DNA sequence: GAGTGGTCTAGACCACGAC
DNA sequence: TCGTGGTCTAGACCACTCT
């Protein structure tokens, strides 16, 4: 891996970036890790631009192709995105990540039914139960904001969600009218709390509806439900949201492709 | 995109491969399509080796880096795989693609329970019902082989599968002892019928069990079940198998990561 | 040792976006 | 027009695998 370290035109006193020499690992992989760390450290904010590849190459004393390989790695990891003619940017985060992709309500999802609506039915500060707190960091998980949210299509309720958000990071959502948040939560997290969701892990399961949730969805108690437990993470890998979504199992439909 | 088409050292009478000039598309993309077509046409069999990149580059009259970009595209598409020091090979196909990844039977999947077992309970030639036939090509779907298969863990039945295979491609499975097929079907398809499964699409839903399937699984009729409908495709994109798998919804658990 | 893919270089020109 | 990323070249050396 340690390439020629070539010799010629070495008139300068010191190499531009000596940290880029490691045995057993490709130069571009080391560079990628260096850049990754800088992104996670916040050297460039989400949505912000990285230096041009020419600049990065010069700074680290490598050829253009090498820095391009490093950046390509970060693109594959979903950390940055590159736009032809504009530059290289830190990924802003998920805006949609809609639960509706798991369900087929009405004829086809979002066809003729109008946009999905969201209503916050309850909001409270709670001490997180252990089952919830364990998803957050060890220091985290004490004081939390708990939401009960109902999603509707064409006026008909279809999904009920329990959401836990760590405090004080989400203190800005603890007061004030919830109607102003809009129908999508993640943009509200970003604009009101400065928290951008970068990755989400959904676990799908199955259970019977309790009386409370069933009533909200207009179904009978004990009706079969699909249960999606989501952990959402910021760019640094910290869990910033835990959510349990329930919907009619009859409406559940999800497609997986194996290659 | 159409690069310099440069001039120098053009002592030969004709360019090595004139098909590699197209306006509006990158050279490597055109090359990738050419190679892709050759793979699908069967110029190199599944598991077989492609020529070395040096040879391909010379044949098409491009630089090494360009052919490497083209091959990288085909790797990303899952069509080929490259092995350092050995060569570039047409992907052999899926061997596992196990349904058990959707379920958590016992403590953890495949832990201490021993390997999953498979039994063919019924086998018959049928005219495919329209709902099944439509998944296969328009000419296909008439005469089919239908299987009823039961999968067990530690002796306990856990999944029941209905499987449709087009004839005459799968005629080799129509007779003889099914016990000799082994516990995995796709390797049997490959060795006995020369059909390799390259891609599979699973659609997940929930439904109540019918009396027959419930009895096979040792559950009550009407018990909620997870239903996975799979279409399996060969390397050329032809549907070669349709399968409906049912298992206890309580045991269903699947994880999706969004980035 | 021969042959393969993997890494790296130093340059060129092209296509795109914004000013 | 300028700066950006995208494509392409022609070479070098390295690491891996098989014989």
Provide the 10 A C-beta neighbour count for residue A90: 24
CA of A85 to C1' of D1 (A): 14
Provide the 10 A C-beta neighbour count for residue A161: 22
Which residue's CA shows the smallest distance to C1' of D6? A84
Which among B78, B226, B255 has CB closest to A206? B226
- pLDDT over 70 at A112, yes or no: no
User: Looking at per-residue confidence, does A37 or A109 come out higher?
Assistant: A37
CB pair distance less than 8 Å for A249 and B224: yes
Q: Which of residues 94-153 of A touch B (CB under 8 A)?
A: 94, 97
How many Cα atoms are found within 13 Å in the side-chain-facing hemisphere of A106?
Answer: 18
- pLDDT over 50 at A81, yes or no: yes
Q: Taking a C-beta distance cutoff of 8 angstroms, is the pair A144, A166 a contact? A: yes
Lowest mean pLDDT among A151-155, B57-61, B199-203, B245-249: A151-155
CA distances from B170 to A214, B67, B211 (A): 47, 38, 30
Provide the 10 A C-beta neighbour count for residue A158: 21
Mean pLDDT rounded to a whole number for chain B: 89
Mutate to test the interface with B, among A206, A225, A234, A247 (most CBs of B within 10 A): A206
CB pair distance less than 8 Å for B78 and A249: no
pLDDT band, residue A77 (cuts 50/70/90): very high
Q: What is the pLDDT of residues B47-83, one digit of tens each?
A: 999 999 999 999 999 999 999 999 999 999 999 999 9
Q: Which strands sit side by side in the sheet containing A254-258, from one edge to the other?
A: A254-258, B199-208, B224-233, B239-248, B156-166, B143-153, B117-127
Locate B86 and state its tokens: 């050995």
The pLDDT value recorded for residue B5 is 38
Q: Taking a C-beta distance cutoff of 8 angstroms, is the pair A106, A61 a contact? A: no
- pLDDT over 50 at B222, yes or no: yes
What's the mean pLDDT in B178-200?
A: 94
Q: What is the pLDDT of residues A132-183, one digit of tens each?
A: 999 998 877 689 999 999 999 988 999 999 999 999 999 999 999 999 999 9
Q: What SS3 class is residue B163?
A: strand
Provide the 10 A C-beta neighbour count for residue B200: 19
3-state helix, strand, coil in chain A (%, to 5): 30, 30, 40
- pLDDT over 60 at B115, yes or no: yes
Provide the 10 A C-beta neighbour count for residue A175: 8
CB pair distance less than 8 Å for A257 and B224: no
Residue A98 parent element (H or E) = none
Which among B203, B226, B257 has CB closest to A255? B203
The pLDDT value recorded for residue A113 is 67
Q: What SS3 class is residue B92?
A: coil
- pLDDT over 60 at A30, yes or no: yes
CB pair distance less than 8 Å for A200 and B257: yes
Peptide bond into B120 cis (omega under 30): no
DSSP-derived secondary structure letter, A103: B
The pLDDT value recorded for residue A14 is 38
The pLDDT value recorded for residue A9 is 35
What's the mean pLDDT in A192-204?
A: 95
Cα–Cα distance between A207 and A227 in angstroms, integer? 7
CB pair distance less than 8 Å for A204 and B259: no
Which residue's CA shows the smallest distance to C1' of D12? A4
Q: Please report, rounded to a whole number, the percentage of residues in chain A having pLDDT higher than 70.
A: 88
Protein-contacted bases of chain C (C-beta within 7 A): 3-18
Q: B198 beta carbon < 7 A from strand D?
A: no
Locate B13 and state its tokens: 């009478």
Smallest Cα–Cα separation from B230: which of B207, B205, B208, B253? B205
């Amino acid at each position: 891996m340690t390439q020629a370290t070539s010799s010629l035109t070495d008139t300068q006193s010191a190499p531009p970036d000596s940290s880029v020499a490691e045995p057993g690992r490709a130069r571009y992989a080391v560079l990628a890790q260096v850049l990754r760390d800088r992104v996670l450290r916040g050297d460039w904010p989400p949505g912000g631009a990285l230096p041009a590849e020419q600049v990065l190459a010069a700074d680290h004393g490598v050829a253009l192709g090498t820095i391009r390989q490093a950046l390509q790695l970060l693109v594959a990891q979903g950390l940055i995105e590159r736009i032809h003619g504009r530059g290289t940017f830190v990924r802003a985060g998920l805006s949609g990540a809609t639960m509706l992709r798991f369900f087929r309500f009405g004829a086809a999802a979002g066809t003729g039914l109008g946009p999905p609506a969201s209503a916050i039915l309850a909001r409270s500060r709670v001490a997180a139960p252990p089952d919830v707190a364990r998803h957050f960091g060890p220091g985290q998980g004490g004081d939390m904001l708990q939401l009960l949210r109902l999603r509707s299509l064409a006026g008909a309720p279809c999904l009920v969600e329990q959401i836990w958000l760590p405090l004080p990071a989400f203190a800005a959502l603890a007061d004030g009218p919830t109607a102003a948040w809009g129908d999508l939560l993640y943009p509200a997290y970003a604009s009101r709390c400065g928290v951008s969701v970068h990755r989400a892990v959904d676990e799908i399961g199955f259970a019977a509806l309790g009386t409370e949730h069933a009533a909200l969805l207009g179904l009978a108690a004990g009706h079969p439900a699909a249960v999606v437990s989501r952990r959402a993470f910021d760019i640094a890998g910290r869990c910033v949201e835990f959510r349990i979504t329930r919907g009619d199992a009859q409406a559940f439909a999800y497609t997986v492709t194996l290659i």
